[in-house]
Amino acid sequence: MIDLNNIEVAFKIKSDKELRNAKFLFSMIKHRFIVRTLGFMSNLALKIKFPISWIVKPTLYRHFVGGETIEECFPAMNRMAEENVKSVLDFSIEAVEKETEIDRTFQELKRSVINSGQHAAIPFSVFKPTALTTDNVLKKVSFGEPLTAGEQLSYNNFLQRFDALCAEAVKAGKPIMVDAEDYWFQKAIDDVTEDMMLKYNKETAVVYATLQMYRHDRLDYLRHLLEFSKQHNIIIGIKYVRGAYMEKERARASAGGYPSPIYPTKNDCDNAFNEALRISVENCDRIHVFCGTHNEESILALMKYMSEKGLPNDCPTIYMAQLYGMSDNLSFNIAKAGYNVAKYLPYGKVRNVLPYLVRRAEENSAIAGQTTRELIMLRQELKRRKSLK
């Protein structure tokens, strides 16, 4: 039986100083008031362009981000690769609206895809579709609203950029994952992702869709994708996550007077997530899986489904993943047991990555027991090391 809480394995690559810094950080973000204040101050600082790198970079940034550039991520990437934990470099920039900024972002994303083909320790590339056009364009397309001439041009550019990144992934020989976004934008993203699957997933899964399983329509959408793959004789790639915008989606639905797209309870979401994994393993000839979760029960469920199907631990079409800076007990113990594991390793300038960092702090603060578990393990490992001296 795999031990997912072996702290010696979990923190093998961390120095004592890194463990102490992590303990301090999680001690702070377990307090909801501190996290809410951080979110408010961060938004204010971005609006007034107040310099905040001096306080963010040595704390949240250092723990959750690989660096400002691809090259700055290499030390963290190489350290993890020594323990068979690979990396997915994620250029974490959000809320890009100007065409010049969008084009610069596209060029960096293209560079990231090319880079994935140059390193064995990078099994996937990834991008956020909202980085390739404006939010308003994606919302209007999702809801079938007419576009102005300028918006149509922007959307055409979006389609070309989307296709270009997928084409680069083919050249790199590594799959590319299309991140999920807000409910308002997702229909447009799903449609284009399916088009790219038709174009590029004929022999293997090059293009991966992302399903946020806290949405109550995603199991049905998974079944649609499975039938879609059979109808067109293609391979479907799917990244499963629970979801990143729960509070915002519920508030938006309430304000807009439409039903919430989110399951009413966490248990409903957990059941849907695990059922999606079961369906995927049962149809592993059609579906390649990237399971992004910090939930131990879901990981054990996936292992069980793989075993029942007779799949080896290192089945090349199944990956498990966690975020850099979180749940090292899962990542490194799973990798030690021979499964395919990757860490999502964000990179970018502090100002660009700040919204991501605030979400990570909010996530740790909101998930029952998440921060407490991290703290307990960090304290145990520091105590264990001290006893050896």
The Cα 336–Cα 82 span in angstroms is: 11
The structure's pTM equals 0.93
Q: Residue 59 is inside which H or E element, if any?
A: none
The Cα 278–Cα 306 span in angstroms is: 9
Strand pairing category for 341-347 and 318-323? parallel
Task: Tokens 């050249």: give the residue.
Answer: 171
Domains delineated in the chain: 66-351 (3.20.20.220)
Question: 130: which DSSP letter?
Answer: G
Q: What order do you get walking across the sheet with 341-347 strand by strand?
A: 85-91, 341-347, 318-323, 287-292, 236-241, 207-212, 176-178, 125-127
**pLDDT in single tens digits along all 389 residues of the chain:** 789 999 999 999 999 999 998 898 888 776 665 556 555 556 655 554 655 664 677 777 888 899 999 999 999 999 999 999 999 999 987 667 788 899 999 999 999 999 999 999 999 999 999 999 999 999 999 999 999 999 999 999 999 999 999 999 999 999 999 999 999 999 999 999 999 999 999 999 999 999 999 999 999 999 999 999 999 999 999 999 998 777 788 888 888 888 999 999 999 999 999 999 999 999 999 999 999 999 999 999 999 999 999 999 999 999 999 999 999 999 999 999 999 999 999 999 887 777 777 766 666 555 546 778 889 999 999 999 999 87
